[in-house]
A and B are shown apart, each in its own frame.
Chain A
Amino acid sequence: MAETVLETHGLTMRFGGVVASDHVDFRLEARELRCLIGPNGAGKSTFFKCISGLLTPTSGHVFMRGEEVTGWMPHQIASLGVGIKTQTPNVMDQLDVFENIWLAARRFHDVAEANRKAEDVIDRLALGPIARTNLGELAHGERQRVELGLVTVGDPWLVLLDEPAAGMSAQDVERMTDIIHELTRTAAVVIVEHDMQFIRSIAQKVTVFHQGAVLMEDHVDAVMSDPTVRNVYLGKKA
């Protein structure tokens, strides 16, 4: 049996009366690729934030590689080797592409190695021509790609991506698919997405969130043909 890298028990997050995350039990194996889907407001981002330390859950537990990390700060979680992309872009607009990625690389390597790693990622993501352009001047798709670059440059073993393909061109999405596949050779990846076609092209196992709780968890085909899921999610979107 493969190692469990991420596990939550009864993870609950309340905002006043709103239960944004409702007793979520979640388990992810090493190098697994999992998609989270669910209608707007289902609690997907809240779930991510509880795992990554951006929010402290009201109750419940989070374990990473067997260690309890509930209530840890974001930098402590990230230091374990967890790469996190939030739903809203989180990059440094006044700094250029190289500096953005270099800063991420520097966390886990000395200066020379960080230089090398950053160059490497820039090559792999085809960011060479814009390496010295500030993030603030880039198109949305390029910014997404840079953010993916800085999330992955530290060689994480767990990657959380909240809507990485949102607002991207078809070509960008295709490139993103390749990158994610490559990632899964060394890391477990959890992706929140709305784009069904994209999900089909990358994932096998899908977890459906609804009103903060896990509605079902199954192979992508089974999920898509499930009448309840169609009701709460697909029906709404169509």
Chain B
Amino acid sequence: MIKTSATRDVVTTLVVAALLITIMPQLIGTYTLTVLVVYGMLGLSLGLIWGFGGILCFGQAAYFGLGAYTYAIAAVNFGESTLPMLLAVLVPALFAAILGAMMFYGRLTDVYLGVITLVVTLILFKFINSTAGPQYKIGDARLGGFNGIPGFQTLNVPGRPNDYIWGDAYFYFCAIALVIVYLLVTWLLRSSFGRIAVGIRENETRIALMGYDVAARKTVLFAIGAAIAGLSGALFANWAEIVTPGLFSLGQSAEIIIWCIVGGLGTRFGPVIGAAGLAYLKFLLGQQSMIDNTLIIGLILVFFVLFLPKGILPAVTDIWRVSFGRRKRRGARTRRGRGGRQHG
């Protein structure tokens, strides 16, 4: 049973991904699509730790920015992209592991966790903003304050610094990276670690009374989320070819939270769709100046909280189930319903 449903899960993911990767470039330019994919991965990072681990982080943008800056700084220094990509995953993960350990072993309540992650993001933003002077440099890389870091080595074929991966090829690279991360998240959630994480989300005290070290597990999950956010940050840096302190902004953090709510918390695909959809909407709105686009995003959030609190994906699967699922197998329905909520 478990084996077959896992296989079906992987097959579904691959088929949907293949369809999207083939069809979407016919509709939207690959340059825009690339950043939607990158945001999708960022949404997935928070969707994992919040939707499945119950950790609401107000500073997921901090790891995104940290990944982007780590990449940029390392790329300037090394002139090759392979090691910088790895560092862009490891540095945010390490940072999150230290911060997470302090918060979770300190037995902070959710509210304080939110406040601390928010403050850390603010501090990073302020700090990076204040590094305009020439004394702020790491190796050959000047941090550049509010001007950011431009002109770093972008993604190249490993070991061949002059073979750049760009344009359409870069879109496919990012899309495949997202599929791989998505499958890894799927595997993680099906593993014992993932199931225990969901248990922690449901009832921390009970899981502790079963003998699990809740603080350690939350720290690890938090770091995994940061690693994914860091990777998406590095991909973003390659796309934008510049990193600026705006990556660390609270506005960015808030958007990630909105993506998750709109897309569907507690699902894997929801935050990806929420991120890509809302980012595309913002892109379209950015091309007109009649209505302020933060206002529209705000209205969408209010609409969802009031009318579709579970988000798009659960709503769509519910409709699907009601219209097509009923006649088939009554007994199997509750089972699939559950699976849909946890793993969808």
Contacts and interface: CB of A to CB of B under 8 A. Distances in A.
Interface of A: 52, 54, 73-75, 78-79, 84, 86, 90-96, 99, 102-104, 106-108, 111, 132-134, 150, 154
Contacts of A133: 334
B335 interface: yes
B126 interface: no
Contacts of B335: 132
B5 interface: no
Given A78-B210, A94-B202, 20 more contacts: A74-B209, A78-B208, A78-B209, A78-B211, A86-B205, A86-B209, A91-B206, A92-B202, A92-B206, A94-B341, A95-B199, A95-B202, A99-B195, A102-B195, A103-B210, A104-B210, A106-B196, A107-B210, A134-B338, A154-B210
B202 A107 contact: no
B203 A74 contact: no
Interface in B182-211: 192, 195-196, 198-199, 202-203, 205-211
A82 B236 CA distance: 49
Contacts of B341: 94
A103 B334 contact: no
Given A92-B206, A95-B202, A108 B192 contact: no
7 contacts: A75-B212, A78-B211, A95-B198, A103-B195, A103-B210, A106-B192, A108-B211
B208 A74 contact: yes
Given A90-B203, A99-B195, A134-B338, A79 B211 contact: yes
Given A106-B196, A111-B192, A75 B203 contact: no
A127 B334 CA distance: 17
Contact of A75 (B195, B198, B213, B334): B213
A86 to B, nearest CB: 7
B199 A107 contact: no
A75 B196 CA distance: 14
A154 B211 contact: yes
A84 B211 CA distance: 10
B320 to A, nearest CB: 21
A135 to B, nearest CB: 9
Contacts of B198: 95
Contact of B199 (A52, A84, A92, A154): A92
B202 A90 contact: no
Contacts of A74: 205, 208-209
B201 to A, nearest CB: 8
Q: Which of B196, B208, B212 has the most CB of A within 10 A?
A: B208
A84 B209 contact: yes
B265 interface: no
A111 B2 CA distance: 12
A111 B196 CA distance: 12
Nearest to B107: A73
B182 to A, nearest CB: 23
A79 B208 CA distance: 9
A171 B92 CA distance: 56
A91 B334 CA distance: 20
Contacts of A107: 210-212
